[in-house]
Copies of this chain bind each other. A is one copy, B any other.
Amino acid sequence: MSEETKFFEYLRRTGLKITRERKEILREVFTSHRHFDADELFLRLKGRGAGVSRATVYRTLALLVRSHLVRKMELGDGRATYEHVLGHPHHDHLICIQCNRILEFHHPEIEELQQKVCEEFDFKMKSHSQQIYGVCKECRKKQSS
């Protein structure tokens, strides 16, 4: 089932409406595979004349998050970063503090250990996030030259 269909189904189920603006945003979110923030998305839409306001971008992103088609992350620089879930199983992030590039990694063993930590604390995990900040390969290459 396509992401579009999933979203429409979510809307229907929740008594919400399928509008031109929501379609535009949906298309923009799923045609790129990068991480983005709300304003970037707004500007991309504006750039191609999609006619969607900033307010609607925020409101629709909230819906996409609620319907689990998009993940929202607070990476600690004040604004939220989003990524769509399509073809992106759970993962964590390496964040370059020089070029802001975001790399993804997944390490099942770490996940297992997190689970163990929760058991020790009798803590029911709902989600987790893990960020490693540092300097990526490319930036280090540039620096050393």
Contacts and interface: CB of A to CB of B under 8 A. Distances in A.
Contacts of A142: none
Interface stretch (A2-10, A16-24, A117-125): A117-125
A125 B133 contact: yes
Interface stretch (A32-40, A62-70, A103-111): A103-111
Contacts of A113: 107, 109-110, 113
A134 B123 CA distance: 7
* Copy count, this protein chain: 2
A99 to B, nearest CB: 12
Interface residues on A, range: 20 to 34
A128 interface: yes
A49 interface: no
A129 interface: yes
Given A74-B74, A74-B76, A137 B121 contact: yes
A127 B85 CA distance: 26
